[in-house]
């Protein structure tokens, strides 16, 4: 038999999804009989968290929901990154670790333009700096200039990476 008959059920779904927290396309009615699978064409999905497509589709987001509408002031972020760079220069870090952390912070600065912040560039390089500090067994003590710099950065970039606590974890500190 060519093509669907009355016993065949088929769903055609097309979707353009933007700025959604949980979105489900398709799925299957458990009481229905399916001879062929669903045809699902999906395009232009961006800034979505928790997407499921297909039969019995489910989406579950565990952890911090990232706010897609969070904005970072580029001037404030640039100043905070420059402050962190200076704080690292005066911190008690082994020479190789100091170079690596300052390089990572310098690379994070490359993600900050006058009118735009590339949060991926900034966050990935800050993670690298934090990893180096942890590998060097460097403790960031509360009240130091390094602590204050990290606290400021956490408040600025935290909303787009899952919270200030996430930023603190990169550096082994709890805010």
Task: Give the domain ranges of the chain.
Answer: 1-62, 74-171
Q: What is the pLDDT of residues 64-89, one digit of tens each?
A: 444 455 678 999 999 999 999 999 99
Q: What is the pLDDT of residues 31-46, one digit of tens each?
A: 444 444 556 666 666 6
pTM of the model: 0.61
Q: Which of 7, 6, 54 is nearest to 28 (CA)?
A: 54
| 42-46, 75-79, 95-99, 128-132: segment of lowest average pLDDT | 42-46
> Is the alpha carbon torsion for 156, 160, 163, 168 positive or negative?
negative
């Amino acid at each position: 038999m060519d093509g669907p008959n009355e016993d065949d059920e088929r769903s055609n779904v097309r979707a353009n999804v933007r700025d959604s927290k949980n979105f489900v396309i398709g799925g299957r009615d458990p009481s229905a009989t399916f001879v062929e699978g669903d045809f699902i064409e999906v395009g232009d999905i961006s800034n979505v968290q928790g997407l499921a497509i297909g039969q019995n589709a489910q989406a579950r987001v565990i952890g911090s929901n990232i706010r897609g509408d969070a904005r970072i002031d580029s001037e404030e972020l640039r100043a905070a990154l420059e402050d962190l760079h200076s704080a690292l220069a005066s911190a008690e870090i082994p020479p190789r670790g100091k170079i690596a952390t300052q390089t990572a912070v310098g690379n994070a600065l490359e993600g900050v333009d006058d009118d735009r912040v590339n949060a991926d560039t900034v966050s990935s390089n800050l993670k690298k700096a934090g990893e180096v500090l942890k590998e060097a067994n460097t403790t960031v003590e509360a009240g130091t200039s390094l602590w204050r710099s990290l606290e400021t950065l956490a408040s600025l970039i935290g909303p787009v990476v899952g919270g200030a606590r996430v930023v603190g974890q990169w550096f082994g500190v709890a805010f």
